[in-house]
Amino acid sequence: MFRSLIGIIFAVLYLILTLPVLGILALIGRKDPEKRGRIAQRMITWSFGVLLKIAGTKITVIGTENIPDEPVMFTGNHRSIWDIIITYRYMKGPCGYVAKESMRKIPIFKIWMDYIGCLFLDRNDLKSGMQMMLDAIKKIKGGSSVYVFAEGTRNKAKEDLPLLEFHEGSFKIAVKSGCKIVPVAINNTQNIMEAHNPWLKAVPVCVEFLKPIDPAAFDKDGKKHLGALSRQMITEAMEKNAALIH
Element (H, E) at 187: strand 180-187
Q: What is the pLDDT of residue 203?
A: 96
Q: What is the pLDDT of residue 143?
A: 95
Q: What is the pLDDT of residue 73?
A: 98
Q: What is the pLDDT of residue 136?
A: 95
Q: What is the pLDDT of residue 171?
A: 97
Mean pLDDT per 10-residue interval, the chain, length 246 residues? 90 93 95 95 96 96 96 96 96 93 84 93 81 94 96 86 94 96 97 91 97 96 96 98 90
What residues are paired with 181 via a beta bridge? 73, 213
Q: What is the pLDDT of residue 207?
A: 98
Q: What is the pLDDT of residue 103?
A: 83
What is the pTM assigned to this prediction?
Answer: 0.94
Q: What is the pLDDT of residue 153?
A: 84
Q: What is the pLDDT of residue 180?
A: 98
Q: Determine the Cα–Cα distance for residues 206 and 245; give it in Å rounded to an integer.
A: 7
Alpha carbon 213 to chain centroid, angstroms? 18
Q: Which of 237, 194, 227 is nearest to 61 (CA)?
A: 237
SS3 label, residue 203: coil
